[in-house]
Structure formats: C-alpha cells, structure tokens
Structure 1
Amino acid sequence: MNTTTHRMFGALLVRRVPGAGRPTLNIERAEQGLFLLWLAYMGLLGFAAWLLWREGAWHRLVEADPTRLTLAIVFLFLGCSLWAGRRAWDLGRQRRALDAGLAHGWSGEFLQGTAQPGADRASWLQVLGERAHGPHEMAWWLNGIQLKLGLLGKVIGFSILALDLGQMQNFDPSQSAQLLKSLTGGLGIALLTTVTGLTGNILLGLQLMRLDRFADALVADALALSLQPTEPDDGNRPAGS
C-alpha cells in the first residue's frame, strides 16, 4: 500500500484503535470469516443508524445542512462499505483456495509460476501483491475524500458565517433573533459536515485496515509455501533408497 495514504488524519486514528492493525484475527481464519466479521460490523452500524433515525437525528441532519455535503459523505461511505464487503468475500475465496492447495486463484498462479525453473520470484511476488492490495488504493483515496468533503463543508459554513457578519451595518436588538439564527446556521454546517466526514473516515478506515491485514497474511502465507522445499516423487528416488 502507498505509505502516503496512511498519513491522512483519519487513517492515523484508525491505526491507533486497539486490534485494528493486528495480523489476521482467528475469526478471519474461518471459512469466509472476514466477510462474516464485516457483516457483523455493518449490522452494528445499521443498528446504530436505526437508533439515530428513531430519535430524528437523520431528519435534523438533513435540515441543518443545505449544502447536502453530509448526505454525499453518507452515500460515499455506504458505497465504499458495500465494496469492502464484496472485497472481503473475494479475499475469503482466495484464502480458502490457498488453504485447500487448489491450483486456481492468485496464490495458485503464484505457486505454479515460482515453481517453474528459472522463475523470477520477485516479479511473481509483485504481481501477487498487486492483486491482493491494488484495488484497496482507490478505496483509501475515497476514504480520504470523505474527510476532505467534511473540511469543505467547514469552509463553506464559516464563509457563510463571515458573510453574515460582514453584512451587519449596525446592531438592532429587534433583529437579534434573526441574526442569531443566520449565524448558527453557518456554524452548524461547519460542525455537522466536519463530524460526519471524520466519522465516516474512521469507520471506513477500520474496514480497509482489516482488508489490508488479511491481504498481507495471504501474500505472506503464499510466499512461505513457495519457499518450502519440494519432496521428490517415489518414481524419482534413486535405486536402493
């Protein structure tokens, strides 16, 4: 993975969450364990979203943000999360093929390619790493977009606040309520979009971090299998052995 991607603020927070950066968890070693873990995670988020809907938080969120940047962040998060679930399923299939010793899949092609005489192991390892991690690059980039959309909403909110203050010619106590409503509107946009973008960045980063760790373990196990010495067949053993 590109190391510069991990320098984003949200990704740095994710890396400090206990267990997020650990190698493959035991539950992920089970058949489609990574996908089941993702499914449980999304179920937890879905339950939290339902509780917020019961309290009317989603309705107030839409009303308080005329820019609709919060909705864009939410839909971006949902789309990337669904992709992460599909990716977890694909990685689980590759893990099952590797554990079963099947010839198909990325690891099977890697093992067959490195077993050929004079094979370039470094090139094959690069191909395997690209297949395991390459699609994650775009997901990490979109994860950073969530944070940038939140910062964009913050800039828009404070710009509205500054414009409202700049239009004040004199202070009229009779217009204080309307002025206060206008000022809090800009401040609300700034805070809501920032919080939504940061929350989506962290929650999606947790999913992508587990995908990366699972892909790392898959590449490492495939490399370890390719380095194991192959035993000669019975027909190739010398006479008298």
Structure 2
Amino acid sequence: MNTNKTHTLFLLWFLLTSLTGFGLYMTWDKGLFQWVILTDNTRICVVIVIAFVVGSGLAGWRSIYLSGQFQYFEQFKRGHRSFKPGQSICNDYLTYCGKSPHESQLMAEVMAERARGTHQVGWFVTGLMIKLGLLGTVVGFIMMLSSLEGLEQLDISDIKTLMQQMTQGMGVAMNTTLVGLVGSILLGLQFLLLDRHADRLIADTVDFAHRSVKAA
C-alpha cells in the first residue's frame, strides 16, 4: 500500500496531462487548433506550444524522479540503508543529520535544492509563455495599425482588403494571448503539483530525522 502511495505524484501528473491531451484532441477534431495555428503568421503560437511540450516533458521527468525519492524514503523508514551516494536525497540528509548542526543545515539546503531546484526552469518556461502571448498581442496590434497607413488614399474597392488585414492582426493578438494564457495555466498547475510534493518530501524527511534524534 505504501509503495502505491509513492507513485501518487506521477499518477496525478499523468492524469493532468491526459486531460490536457484530451482537450487538445477535441480542439483538433473541431478544427480550432489548426485554425489558431494557421491564422498566426508570426508563428508565436507554435513557439508557445513547443515551450508547453518541453515544460510538460520536464514536469513528467521530475514527477518520476520525485516519485522514486518518495519510494526511497519509504524504504529507508523500513530499514533499508544500502543506497548509493546521491541516489536518495533523503538518505543523504539523514546520514549526516545529527552529526553537527552545521552539517545538518547544509545537507537540508542541499536536499531542498535537489528536490525542487530544477522546477525553477519550469516556472521560467511558464512565465515565458505568458510573455510570448503578450508579445503576440503587441505584434497583432502593430499589424492592425500598419494596415491603416495610406488610409486617405483608399477607395471603396480597397475597404475589403483593409478589413482583412485588420482582422488578421486582431486574430494574431487574440490567438497568441489565448494560447499563452491557457498554456501557462496548465503548465503552472503541473509545477505547482511538483512543488507541493517536493515540500512534503522535505517536511516528512526533516520530521522523521527529528523524531529519530529524540528517540535516540
């Protein structure tokens, strides 16, 4: 039963990405996804989608890593001690815990960095997606305004072309903003999930160490 609990993080990440994939499939089946990509001639939406895929891949790898660390921690509590150096962050911390306050504090910082340090890259990608969406908004409005150049020279036959250009600029602005916001929200949920489980692993390890010291 405990072994199954150690894989909760990966299962939650898999569930979240599965729901995201299902939503992507539905938008693809309805033609909405293709329309968003094809109407964005700046290709900012493509960059945002690539960033989301890369960020989700990193989150998936981290979910597997942290799930393994939870499993190592459960094994440690059951008396298993034959870990290689660097294999279990909990074992590395608990090995030095109690030897000296300085070493314990230093190893706690190392454990925290290894548990959630890589997540900073994911949060950077999440923020980057929002900024790319805002960049697309600015580019879209620039396209709209540039289509108004020479407006005094237009006649009735040019109005249709002008409206198409303005609509295209507005489409770029709205689509990039939508894709950037939705992607950043979904990716942010993944790394929020990772951060919460990393904090729980650190808290459980420190609590176990303190209880072990008091019991001794």
Q: Do they fold alike, i.e. is TM over 0.5?
A: yes
- Quote the residue 1:206 is aligned against: 189
- Quote the residue 1:129 is aligned against: 112
Q: 2:39 aligns with which of 25, 46, 64?
A: 64
- Quote the residue 2:12 is aligned against: 37
Matched, 1:79 2:62: no
CA distance in 1, matches of 2:50, 2:65: 23
Deviations 1:2-47 (A, max 9, x none): xxxxxxxxxxxxxxxxxxxxxxxxxx97131110111111111111
Q: Is contact 2:98–2:104 with CA below 8 Å preserved after alignment?
A: no
Mapping of residues 143-158 of structure 1, within 5 Å:
143-158=126-141
CA distance in 2, matches of 1:148, 1:186: 18
CA offset at residue 119 of structure 1? 5.1
Q: 2:171 aligns with which of 188, 203, 219?
A: 188
Q: 2:201 aligns with which of 196, 218, 221?
A: 218
3-state DSSP of counterpart to 2:147: helix
- Quote the residue 2:143 is aligned against: 160
Q: Quick one: percent identity of the two aligned structures?
A: 33
Deviations 1:86-133 (A, max 9, x none): 100100110111122144300000000113356532211111111111
Q: Is contact 1:113–1:119 with CA below 8 Å preserved after alignment?
A: no
CA distance in 2, matches of 1:208, 1:231: 36
CA distance in 2, matches of 1:210, 1:48: 20
CA gap 1:119/1:71 in 2 versus in 1, 3 angstroms = same
Q: Is contact 1:70–1:193 with CA below 8 Å preserved after alignment?
A: yes
CA offset at residue 215 of structure 1? 0.3
Note the residue ranges of structure 2 that are not aligned, 5 or more in a row.
Answer: none
Deviations 1:148-174 (A, max 9, x none): 111111111111111111231244222
Q: Would you tell me which structure has more helix in proportion to its own residues?
A: 2
CA distance in 1, matches of 2:92, 2:143: 57
CA gap 1:118/1:194 in 2 versus in 1, 3 angstroms = closer
TM norm structure 2: 0.89
Q: Is contact 1:158–1:190 with CA below 8 Å preserved after alignment?
A: yes
Q: Is contact 2:90–2:205 with CA below 8 Å preserved after alignment?
A: yes
Show structure 1 runs of 4+ deviating over 4 A: none
CA RMSD of aligned residues (A): 1.9
Deviations 1:163-211 (A, max 9, x none): 1112312442222111110111011101100110011110000000010
CA offset at residue 63 of structure 1? 1.6
CA distance in 1, matches of 2:170, 2:150: 16
3-state DSSP of counterpart to 1:120: helix
